[in-house]
Structure 1
Amino acid sequence: MKMKLSVAVLAGAGILSSASVWAQNAQAVAEAQATAEPVAVVVTGVRRAAQSAQTIKRNSDEVIDSIVAEEAGKFPDKNVAEILGRVTGVQVRRQGGEASDVIIRGLPGLTTLLNGREVYTSTNRNLNLTDIPTSMLQRVDVYKSQGAEMVEGGTAGVIDVRTARPFDFKGFSASLTGRAENRDKADSNDPQVSGMMSNRWKNDLGEFGALFGVSYQKGHYFDEVTWNSPPDSTVTNGTNKPNAAVTGPLDLGHSNTTGMRERYSANWAFQYKPVRDVELYAEGWSTRIDHDRETQFFIGNLGWGPTTQYTLIPGTNQVDTVTSSGNPSALSSNQAPRDDSETHQGAIGAKWNVSPDLRVSTEFVRTTSRWKQDMPIMEMFAHPTTVTGQTYVNGGARFDYPGYNMLDPNNYTLGNFIDNWQASGGQSKDWRADATYNNGEDNFFREFSVGVRVAKRSSRYEHESGNFLGADPKLNLPAVSSLAGLTCPSAPMDNNYGMAQWLVICGNYQHANIDAWRKLYGRNGKTAPDPYSLYTNNEDTSALYGKTRFGFNAGSVPVEGTLGVRVVKTKLDVNGFSRVTINNEDVAVPVNKKSSDTDVLPNLTLKANLTDTLIGRFNAGKTIQRPAFGDFNPGISLGATIGGDGVYGGSGGNPDLKPVTGKNADAALEWYFAPTGSLTATVFKHKFENYIIRSAALETFDGKQYRMDRPRNVNEGQLEGIEIGYRQFYDFLPGWLGGFGMEANYTYMKGHFIDKGKEAPFQGMSKNAVNIVGLYERGAWSGRLAYNYRSKFVDTFDYRTLRAPVGPLDLIVDPIETVDASISYKINENMGVTLDVENLTDRKYQDYHGIESNPRDIRRYDRVIGLTVRWKL
């Protein structure tokens, strides 16, 4: 009975399929079996998914957490990034209509794989996980440690996204999903549809399998933001109440983003077994994303001067309320980016069980990706005479203009025009071959694996030159009210922060009239690329690994483990341009930087089966994380507008960056007291060398000071913490109460890096993170209520260098709480319906300048109600 249950669980997880076994290489999946006594419960959707995920974790050599589909294409979230927000030690942000910015154990140094293969977006190292709809997924594995056979990269961890294959099914299978979403702040109703069809059959030529899936998602969204500029001590200069210790913002503002995203995805797979021990396969995946949005800024300068009146937040020297009639300026700015991106990956491969003890495999993969963006920014000036503001109202800024109509086009004049565009692309080819020899379970060394991988990757990037076109009086620009169709009311603020709407230049007008607008500002057509932005990177890697699986008895305790090493040689060829001044003129001088590094990455795992239900683990290894391709760019980008502190903005790359190396150790104790019941704890410690941060420093070009943002290596860093996970279905409860279950996890993290001899916090790392998911499944009904919490974290380290007494500031984000819920009803064996609500409690995102009495902004996002109908055969 135990073995039958185990096989059912593994089949549901998809890890008994030959292709998946191959993808996991030396992992002893075939040995996996549930050891707890089964109870008399029908193992269906929610339970089966939980049981499968638990089995994967239990039988893995590495420290891993998985989320498995309840059935083909059925996950509780819409994309991979949202799914990962439920995983122990993983944190995400949600903005722009969906989850994004995935980090593992507080760090961004992760690698994304698709079916065990390296995959990425354009010039980035990783795939944008929001680009993968859950409709095509079988499961998602999050590795906190790495085996020697895995593609190198990921000092924080590895996310392996696995899609379904035809041999995962017994025969013909098909599914179709339709979904309608309502978003409250965007006031939209959007469709989503996906489908999958798979079949496997036999004839005289062997066994065949074919699968094809498609997905379409459309989503509008609205993000509301109100903000304060950084505190500055100059706000009291020249006022009737001078006080050098008082600080306050120079500007208050709103920044609302409306957007619409369309995502088209497809995946396909073919498998062929001419004989029992040989399999040939080909599979691929494609996605296209069209993303149009408008970020409608309003910047209200407080016009500090002799007539300005202000009060302080009680008990502080921070400005609270402001009334100013000293000619306060106001700016309306509409950023209207339109993004277009595509990514394609195809793979062909074969595996051969040469004998009962020897299996070999090989695979060739090609990936291409491109991205482009056109982002005109058109601005208008307003000319109010009085402004009233309050810097801290419900976490944000409130301001208004008494007696001035911000919806009247006659109250505006044309402002600056920023003509932005950028484009990037990349492609790669990689080939690998692996062999595994089974030496017998009675020997100390039970299995040997070796493999080789060769990969070639190239990337390119460029953006516009001379993007800033100022509102020069010599241009004799027309009146705003004279241009038909020019202006639109901004999206209204959903909450009360004073001025609720203002005029912006319509986003559609910007794109439809872009060439005419350029001519209006004295430019003919689109500008050529900025030579300092141009770069091409070519990276060649060659990797060789060896690994053995061993086992022995320590007294009465069976112990098994793996020992492996991966040796990787990386050749990098970076080409760009550097800014050099010759005879008082700036000249773009070509730069070529070639480097070659060899990294040796050992890995050790130990797993002790202390009892039938209790497992102890120890994992240790070395990992690397290569910098993003864009970080190597030797060029610079200099801003044309000056900041409130009299310094221009700029950014650049660093061709001398070194890869981050991590030395990681994990120790775990795992108690599996039921097929869907476990309590686990993992203690981890990571040490880093050459950790990469972005920081600002003042540099001088053409006699002007620029705050240049560049990546650089710091000497060392470390991270330590503990993860605790719990899962159980309460089948022992009587009647309908036996349908309840719970998944909960908690992560504590503590870490820092050393910068210039001082400890500094990791960006994005919350010390505490909690997930609690209440589950229910009985008969035709199932449901979940999911709560997610993360404590405060540093968004940007030392992001502004301000005058005394303020000094350097970190941008800190308040704790974030999210609640989602869903309920499903299975109409019959082939059809079901789900109602879900995302952002049930109308969460808010709030950050502040160093201390809580200096808020930067507060952000609110859509509440999403979705109705999904699923059909399967």
Structure 2
Amino acid sequence: MNRLRAVPKQRLLTSALLLAIASPALAQVAEPVSPSEATELDAVMVTGIRGSLTSSMNLKRDAQGVVDGIVAEDIGKFPDTNLAESLQRISGVSIDRSQGEGSKVTVRDVGPDFNLVLLNGRQMPASSIEATNASNSRAFDFANLASESISGVEVFKTSRAATATGGIGATINIKTARPLESEPLANVGMKAVHDSSVDNLPKPMQGGKWTGEMSGIFSTKTDDGRFGIALSGSYQERDFGYNEAAVGGGWYAFPGGEGPLANADPAVNATNPPGPGDIYSIPQNLIYAINGVSRQRTNGQATLQWAPTDTITATLDYTYAENRIQQRRHELSTWFNQAASQTSWTDGPIAAP
């Protein structure tokens, strides 16, 4: 009787094992999901500040050599009004200011005269709004270019075969808008600037506290992406004023053939005078001046691009930049009488009265 009862248990165990072994085969022969039933996700386009940071990071990653750069959030939306002020965000770059605005850049402690500035890969002429005569400096003044049509700035801290030579500190390449590298757009912007520095000037020299700025950009391309055109322009006015005080002087060696002590009266009561061979500094005149400045900056760019194949792109671009400045100056200066009867000199490596 016991053996007869054991037979159904073995059969039950065998059936359970066969069922467990066969169950995975059911999942393997399941019908695949048809492609039409698969869920398609929409493309996500990253723009704005996050997209700008991503583009700047990709610029450093893909470049050969040490390169830093700034990419506009969108065309016409550069982070600062002045390009020099934007460049100071990059490590190793500092700026020189002229009349309150960023003007020239210093890279890794190398002065503006030793940095090469390019516009779309071409060398830019050097000019300065601080002087009416021809400039004898190689430093480029970034105040001459508006930022509305700038798409990015590259700072090459190492030499490259693809760029011109001449930048000891760095080579800075300014890139304008390219129609085939961006989506079609049309943008017009206007804003007003308030500058209260004119309040420090006399009434006849004061300009307007409120001045206007206007800019616009238009970019389009054909449906096949083979031909594109981009036009941009900007106009800016600014009135401001500033006061300055300065002491003019010169460096002299004692004794020497020139300078106020060259033929000094031995009877002069001099306390701690410079000794033979010492270098001393002495003021010659004192200047105090008030300045009223009016500036108009006009920029325009036109770009044509044609890509007959996927590997060939022809670009024709034209840039117009004009920066006019009118300055009114009142100055009071005093020329010191060097024939002093009593002088007292300071101690130090360079003596001064």
Above 0.5 in TM-score?
A: yes
- 1:135, CA displacement in angstroms? 0.4
Q: Contact 1:263–1:289 at 8 Å: present in 2 too?
A: yes
Find the counterpart in structure 2 of residue 281 from structure 1.
315
Counterpart among 160, 164, 169 of residue 173 in structure 2? 160
Who is 2:188 aligned against? 176
Structure 2: distance between partners of 1:292 and 1:805: 42
**Change beyond 3 A, Cα 1:76–1:186:** farther
What is the rounded CA distance, in whole Å, between the counterparts of 2:140 and 2:309 in structure 1?
Answer: 36
Q: Which amino acid aligns with 1:116?
A: G
Residue correspondence of structure 1 range 333-348 to structure 2 within 5 A: none
Partner residue of 1:58 out of 57, 61, 68: 61
How far is the alpha carbon of 1:126 from its aligned partner? 5.7
Structure with larger Rg: 2
Query: Which residue of the partner structure matches residue 202 of structure 1?
Result: 223
Would the alpha carbon gap of residues 280 and 179 (structure 1) be closer, same or farther in structure 2, given more than 3 Å must change?
A: same
| Gap change, CA 1:100 and 1:306, over 3 Å in 2 | closer
Q: Secondary structure at the match of 1:54?
A: helix
Using the TM superposition, give the Cα deviation of residue 76 of structure 1 relative to its aligned residue in structure 2, in angstroms. 2.6
The match for 1:91 among 90, 94, 98 is 94
User: Are 2:137 and 1:118 aligned?
Assistant: no
TM-aligned CA distance change 1:156 to 1:76, over 3 Å: same
The separation in 1 between residues aligned to 2:165 and 2:340, in whole angstroms, is 62
Q: Indicate the residue corresponding to 2:298 in structure 1.
A: 264
Conservation of the 8 A alpha-carbon contact between 1:231 and 1:806: no
1:544-573 residue CA offsets vs partner (Å, 9 max, x unmatched): xxxxxxxxxxxxxxxxxxxxxxxxxxxxxx
1:659-808 matches, within 5 Å, as: 806=350
Q: Deviations 1:164-219 (Å, cap 9, x if unpaired)? A: 1111223x30112212112222343221111101111237xx73211100011112
Asked if the contact 1:97/1:221 (under 8 Å) is kept, the reply is: no
CA deviations on 1:770-825 (whole Å, 9 max, x unpaired) are xxxxxxxxxxxxxxxxxxxxxxxxxxxxxxxxxx9848xxxxxxxxxxxxxxxxxx
Give SS of 2:213's match: strand
Determine the C-alpha separation between the residues in 2 that align with 1:85 and 1:224: 26
Aligned with residue 250 of structure 1, among 280, 284, 291: 284
> What do you get for the CA RMSD once the two structures are aligned?
3.3
Q: Say whether residues 1:79 and 2:82 are aligned partners.
A: yes
Q: 2:50 aligns with which of 47, 51, 55?
A: 47
Contact 1:120 1:127 in 2 (8 A): yes
Shift of 1:241: 4.4
Match of residue 148, structure 1, among 150, 153, 161: 161
Shift of 1:142: 0.7
Distance 1:115 1:90, change over 3 A: same
Within the candidate set 228, 232, 254, 1:213 is matched to 232
> Could you tell me how far apart the structure 1 residues matched to 2:223 and 2:349 are?
78
Amino acid at match of 2:119: L
Aligned residue identity for 2:92: G
Contact 1:114–1:161 (Cα < 8 Å) also in 2: yes
1:287-306, aligned counterparts within 5 Å? 287-303=321-337
Match of 1:137, as an amino acid?
A: I
Determine if contact 1:112/1:159 at 8 Å carries over to the other structure.
Answer: yes
Q: Identity, % of aligned pairs? A: 25
Change (3 A) 1:201 1:82: same
What is the match of residue 213 of structure 2? 192
> CA offsets per residue over residues 697-745 of structure 1, 9 Å max, x none?
xxxxxxxxxxxxxxxxxxxxxxxxxxxxxxxxxxxxxxxxxxxxxxxxx
SS of residue paired to 2:148 = helix
Q: Which has the higher contact order (CA 8 A, sep 6+)?
A: 2
Aligned partner of 1:317: which letter?
A: T
What does the per-residue CA deviation read over 1:354-394, in whole Å, with 9 as the maximum and x for residues that have no partner? xxxxxxxxxxxxxxxxxxxxxxxxxxxxxxxxxxxxxxxxx
Contact kept? 1:96, 1:259, Cα under 8 Å: no
SS at structure 2 position matched to 1:83: helix
Three-state SS of the structure 1 residue aligned to 2:55 is: helix
The letter of the residue matching 1:68 is: V
Secondary structure of residue in 1 paired with 2:317: strand
Distance, in Å, in 1 between the alignment partners of 2:236 and 2:92 is 29
For 1:653-685, what per-residue CA distance to the aligned partner results, in whole angstroms no more than 9, with x for missing partners? Answer: xxxxxxxxxxxxxxxxxxxxxxxxxxxxxxxxx
Instruction: Tell me by how many angstroms 1:60 deviates.
Output: 1.2
Query: Post-superposition shift, 1:273?
Result: 3.1
| 1-structure distance, mates of 2:340, 2:139 | 53
The answer on whether the counterparts of 1:120 and 1:128 sit within 8 Å (CA) in structure 2 is no
Residue 128 of structure 1 deviates from its aligned partner by: 2.9
Residues 261-310 of structure 1, C-alpha deviations (whole Å, 9 max, x = no match): 211110111122345454333212111121222344322234455687x8
Deviation at 1:133, TM superposition (A): 0.8
Contact 1:259/1:291 (<8 A) preserved:
yes
Contact 1:111 1:153 in 2 (8 A): yes
Which amino acid in the other structure matches residue 192 of structure 2? A
- Return the alpha-carbon distance in structure 2 between the equivalents of residues 132 and 241 of structure 1: 57
Retained in 1: the 8 A contact 2:187–2:218?
Answer: yes
Correspondence for 1:658: none
Q: Is 2:243 aligned against 1:224? A: yes
Q: TM-score normalized by structure 1? A: 0.29
What's 2:346 paired with?
317
CA spacing shift, 1:305–1:82, aligned 2, 3 Å: same
Q: Which amino acid in 1 is paired with 2:56?
A: A
* Kept after mapping to 1: 8 A contact 2:272/2:346: no
Correspondence list, 1:812-823, <5 A: none
Structure 2 segments unaligned to the other structure (5+ residues) = 1-43, 128-134, 200-208, 252-258, 275-280
Q: Which has the higher helix share?
A: 2
Instruction: Indicate how the Cα distance of structure 1 residues 69 and 805 shifts in structure 2: closer, same or farther if over 3 A, else same.
Output: closer
- Structure 1 residues 90 and 269, CA, compared in 2 at 3 Å: closer, same or farther? same
The two structures have a TM-score, normalised by structure 2, of 0.68
Q: CA deviation at 1:121?
A: 3.7
Confirm or deny: 8 A CA contact 1:95 1:223 kept in the other structure.
Answer: no
Q: Distance in 2 between matches of 1:805 and 1:149?
A: 48
In the aligned structure 1, how far is the partner of 2:140 from the partner of 2:335? 40
- Alpha carbons 1:222, 1:256 under 8 Å: kept: yes
CA, structure 1 residues 269+252, in 2 after alignment: closer, same or farther (shift >3 Å)? same
Cα deviations across residues 200-259 of structure 1 (Å, max 9, x unaligned)? Answer: 1237xx732111000111122323221223377948x66974335287533322133332
Report matched runs for 1:470-481 at 5 Å. Answer: none
Instruction: Indicate conservation of the 8 Å contact 2:303/2:318, yes or no.
Output: yes
| Rounded Cα–Cα distance in structure 1 between residues aligned with 2:329 and 2:90 | 32
What CA distance in whole angstroms lies between the structure 2 residues aligned with 1:42 and 1:279? Answer: 25
User: When you count strand as a share of all residues, which structure comes out higher?
Assistant: 1
Contact 1:245 1:805 in 2 (8 A): no
Structure 1, residues 19-52: CA drift from partner, whole Å, max 9, x if none? xxxxxxxxxxxxxxxxxxxxxx995422222222
Please, which of 71, 91, 97 is the counterpart of residue 68 of structure 1?
A: 71
C-alpha separation between the residues in 2 aligned to 1:44 and 1:283?
26
